Amino acid sequence: MNAVIMAAGTSSRFVPLCWERPKGLLEVRGEVLAERQIQQLKEAGVDDITLVTGYMAEKFEYLKDKFAVSLVFNPDYARYNNTSTLLRVLDRLGDTWICSSDNYFTQNIFLERPSQSQYSAEYAEGQTAEYCLFGNERDEIVSVTVGGADAWYMIGPVFFSREFSEAFRRILVSGANDEEMMMGYWEDAYIRHLSELPMMRMRKFSPGIINEFDTLEELRAFDGSYLTDTHSAVLKKVCREIGAEEKDLADIRKTADNVCSFRWKDGLYEVRNDEAHACRLIAG
């Protein structure tokens, strides 16, 4: 059994922290996300771990010495989605955990050894834009929709059995020159070829065990230390310039490529990702 941790993406919605470091190297509740996940895998007896890097790849180099993990560089990280990441590790797919470096698990979910391929799932009440899973009486996935309501949806790590890996590898190789497949998530290729692949089951989790953070505001809700200290040199500089405190910056979000905004007092401000990281009032 081995693991592949995907850490190549830019996480562009996670502004402005993504301008300074990869999201997988953020410290959450006192631990670096990627480090915590590596340690949990090792505690479960998974020592063969590969990180696929891309954006700010050099910042992950220290993990080779600290945890004896392998690093593989994905040069297509800015052009394609995570399908290109799996294509870089086809030779490593067997009985394999497929993970994202930016997840935080409150429990070590790797301790339970899978008996077949599985995708982690959590239940959404009401409408959701997530990838929704529908299964048979054995919780084996028989269909997937993008968006739905009152349904189990994909979240967190996946386990590929050797049989699944062999079949999915052929699909990835045959679609390597398919621009549509390369621009999408590997899950999109899985959905398209669902009937051709060995059954994958849902592994259902209660809310709060698997945590994903798409924005700094979501991380602040999970780790309260980010309310008073955003861990961002950019926002600290901005606060000095306008006389604000980090705890008073609200609704921090991406508004355009290399641009983020936030609210302070009665104003809406904009910051650009350039050498000056200039801040200006745009409304209020």
Amino acid residing at 27:
E
Per-residue confidence (pLDDT) for residue 272, from 0 to 100: 94
Per-residue confidence (pLDDT) for residue 50, from 0 to 100: 98
- Measured between alpha carbons, how far is 266 from 272 in angstroms, rounded to an integer? 20
What lies within 8 Å, CB to CB, of 161 at 6+ separation is 95, 114, 116, 117, 198
Nearest Cα to Cα of residue 209 among 68, 110, 78, 84: 110
At 217-268, the pLDDT tens digits run 999 999 999 999 999 999 999 999 999 999 999 999 999 999 999 999 999 9
Q: What number is the average pLDDT over the span 146-154?
A: 96
Q: Which helix (H) or strand (E) holds 182?
A: helix 179-183
pLDDT band at 284 (very low <50, low <70, confident <90, very high): confident
- Measured between alpha carbons, how far is 105 from 212 in angstroms, rounded to an integer? 9
pLDDT band at 275 (very low <50, low <70, confident <90, very high): confident
- Measured between alpha carbons, how far is 225 from 247 in angstroms, rounded to an integer? 10
- Measured between alpha carbons, how far is 37 from 100 in angstroms, rounded to an integer? 9
Kindly report whether the peptide bond that precedes residue 114 is cis, defined as omega within 30 degrees of 0: no
Per-residue confidence (pLDDT) for residue 4, from 0 to 100: 98
- Measured between alpha carbons, how far is 17 from 253 in angstroms, rounded to an integer? 11
Contact 78, 181 (CB under 8 A): no
Per-residue confidence (pLDDT) for residue 95, from 0 to 100: 97
Beta bridge partners of 128: 148
- 118-135 and 201-205 as β-strands: parallel, antiparallel, unpaired? parallel
Q: What number is the average pLDDT over the span 20-43?
A: 97
At 166-209, the pLDDT tens digits run 999 999 999 999 999 999 999 999 999 999 999 999 999 999 99
Residue 156, pLDDT above cutoff 90: yes
Q: What number is the average pLDDT over the span 56-83?
A: 96
- Per the document, the length of the chain is 284
Residue 3, pLDDT above cutoff 90: yes
Residue 77, pLDDT above cutoff 90: yes
The CB density around residue 81, as the number of other CB atoms within 10 Å, is: 18
CA angle 153, 184, 122 (to 5 degrees): 10
Q: What number is the average pLDDT over the span 106-112?
A: 96
At 212-221, the pLDDT tens digits run 999 999 999 9
Per-residue confidence (pLDDT) for residue 278, from 0 to 100: 86
